[in-house]
Amino acid sequence: MGETEFSALLVIQNFSPDPFFSAKQQKRLSELMSLWRLGRDHGQALPPEQQAELDTLVEAELRAATARTAALLQQESL
């Protein structure tokens, strides 16, 4: 087998509130994910308004993770 080059940045989140994603957002995301899992286990979907809120929070957490990574990289370059 030939050599395989692999490069990755691993960021371990401690799931504490921060300037990028608040405690209120984390709590609501957790609540909605619990409802989503319960519905999934029973073959049901979330009501559209809850699904939209969940989607928005997931996107916000993704943006927050990106911002955290950028902040870490900026700290490393100083």
- 67 CB burial (10 A radius; 0-12, 13-18, 19+): middle
What does the block give as tokens for 74? 């900026």
Q: Is the pLDDT of residue 45 over 60?
A: yes
Mean pLDDT of the chain, nearest integer = 89
Taking the C-alpha atoms of residue 37 and residue 46, their distance in angstroms, rounded to an integer, is 9
pLDDT at 6: 65
Tell me the H-state helices in 1-47. Answer: 23-41
Are the beta carbons of 17 and 26 closer than 8 angstroms? yes
Q: Is the pLDDT of residue 13 over 60?
A: no
> Which position has the token pair 């899992």?
37
pLDDT at 16: 85
pTM for this predicted structure: 0.77
